[in-house]
Amino acid sequence: MLPQKSRYKSPWKRFAVNISLVILLFISALFTGIYFNHQNTIEQGLRNRGQALFSSLVITRKWNALHGGVFVEKTPGMKSNPYLQNPDITARNGKTYTKKNPALMTREISEIADREGAFQFHITSLKPLNPNNTPDPFERQALLSFAQGKSEAIGKEKREGATYYRYMAPLFVEEACLSCHGAQGYKLGDVRGGISVRFNIEGMERALMLNRLLLGLLFAVTLASFLGIVLRLVVALQKKLLAAEELIREMATTDYLTKLKNRRFLLTRLREELGRASRYRHPISCIFFDADHFKRVNDTYGHEAGDTVLKTISATAQEQCRQTDILGRYGGEEFLMILPETDLEQAGALAERLRQAIENQTSIADQHHLRVTATFGVACYSPETTAVQPNLSDFIKQADTAMLEAKKAGRNRVGIAA
């Protein structure tokens, strides 16, 4: 029997879901990579800026330390460094100069940078001499990590509604540092403290947020576009494969020459119709017929002429078929017509009309006009009159036997099974 369509589970839905998931994973991985690469680039840029500011200040401090501090003229309002011994000197011209050591210079540079809105520096230590150099929580944690061997600390913080980037790296004790801090027990190479750098990145954070939104929108548009294109291709492929499948199914049940249903299809449908007739107590008939003197046509005019005769009979029989009748080529020059819900008298009348229609046809092959006739055998199964349902072979054999009897009686006639 042919497979029932209702039992066929299409794989297309699962295929579409799987390929959509693959596309989703691919697009997600692509955009995730883009996002993190962009994020890493931004973070590295901020880190580089922090390192550059730190390095610039360290170099400036080193210059100051190499010269043992820098003396500047003490102007009105300028305070001397209270943590230095004898920070002021008086020149011969009477002017007073005060010493700016690296720590004080760093703080004053930071104050100038802060007023300009550029950045802030803060020199700090776990053991500061100046209370103004006391570390904040970020700096304290960084200093503790430096003591454990870390080389830098990075963070972000919110302050007064703005986002700031924090960078801090350690300061190591050098020879010039011991003049001020030697009494605190430091040795060369020890972590003396650190310098933290802070600068405003609120504008960059807003730009990053906008970039995330744009990236998310681009992700959605790209994903939708890819899914649309791929699903459209899947639908087109599905249509082509279904068309090819339908063609294969049609070829499997259709006779190539006459375009009628083939023997396999006829036997399947006849088995179904016999069962339905028995179940609903309806009669069913069949007509078995073949072309008269078909071998003589092939031998005399060739097989192409024989094919023309078969096509003529097929076309004529199709014209006489009712909508519920099932017509097919049984094999060779033999044809079978299944007539559901048709009694013997109705089947005999239909066979006679078909015989006359074929007799009135003329086949033309290689300019030869061939008179076409056929002989018919009719059989009927009626549950009302027959207790036992005939099997498939017996039912067809009844019609075949009736046809053979009609042939013996002279051909081109209808035989009725007893």
- Domain end point (choices 190, 207, 224): 207
Amino acid at 362: T
Q: Where are the beta strands (DSSP E) in 30-92?
A: 70-73, 88-90
- Domain end point (choices 175, 207, 239): 207
Strand partners, 171: 193
Q: What is the pLDDT of residue 185?
A: 54
Q: What is the pLDDT of residues 197-217, one digit of tens each?
A: 988 888 888 888 898 899 999
Q: What is the pLDDT of residue 104?
A: 79
Q: What is the domain count for the chain?
A: 2
Q: Which residues of the chain have pLDDT under 70?
A: 1-10, 173-190, 364-366
Cβ-defined contacts of 306-310 (< 8 Å, 24+): 306/333, 307/257, 308/363, 308/364, 308/365, 308/370, 309/333, 309/363, 309/365, 309/370, 309/372, 310/257, 310/258
The single residue listed with the structure tokens 């576009």 is: 225
CATH number of the domain encompassing residue 174: 3.30.450
Coil/strand/helix, residue 289 = strand
CATH number of the domain encompassing residue 338: 3.30.70.270
Kindly state whether residues 178 and 315 are assigned to the same domain: no
Q: What is the pLDDT of residue 5?
A: 45
Q: Give me Rg for the CA atoms of the chain.
A: 52
The tokens of 68 are what? 């043992």
Kindly state whether residues 202 and 274 are assigned to the same domain: no
Kindly state whether residues 273 and 363 are assigned to the same domain: yes
Amino acid at 370: L
Q: What is the pLDDT of residues 99-148, one digit of tens each?
A: 888 777 877 787 787 777 778 888 888 888 778 889 999 999 999 998 88
Classify residue 78: in a domain, yes or no: no
Helices 102-115 and 12-66 meet at what angle, rounded to 10?
130
Classify residue 411: in a domain, yes or no: yes
Q: What are phi and psi of 191, to 5 degrees?
A: -80, 110
The tokens of 117 are what? 């809105």
Range of the domain at 153: 12-66+101-207
Classify residue 397: in a domain, yes or no: yes
Kindly state whether residues 190 and 278 are assigned to the same domain: no
Q: What is the pLDDT of residue 2?
A: 40
Kindly state whether residues 274 and 410 are assigned to the same domain: yes
First to last CA, the chain: 30
Query: Nearest CA to 287 among 417, 172, 392?
Result: 417
Q: What is the pLDDT of residues 379-418, one digit of tens each?
A: 999 988 887 888 999 999 999 999 999 999 999 999 999 7
Are residues 379 and 292 in contact, defined by beta-carbon separation less than 8 angstroms?
Answer: no
Q: What is the pLDDT of residue 1?
A: 37
Classify residue 359: in a domain, yes or no: yes
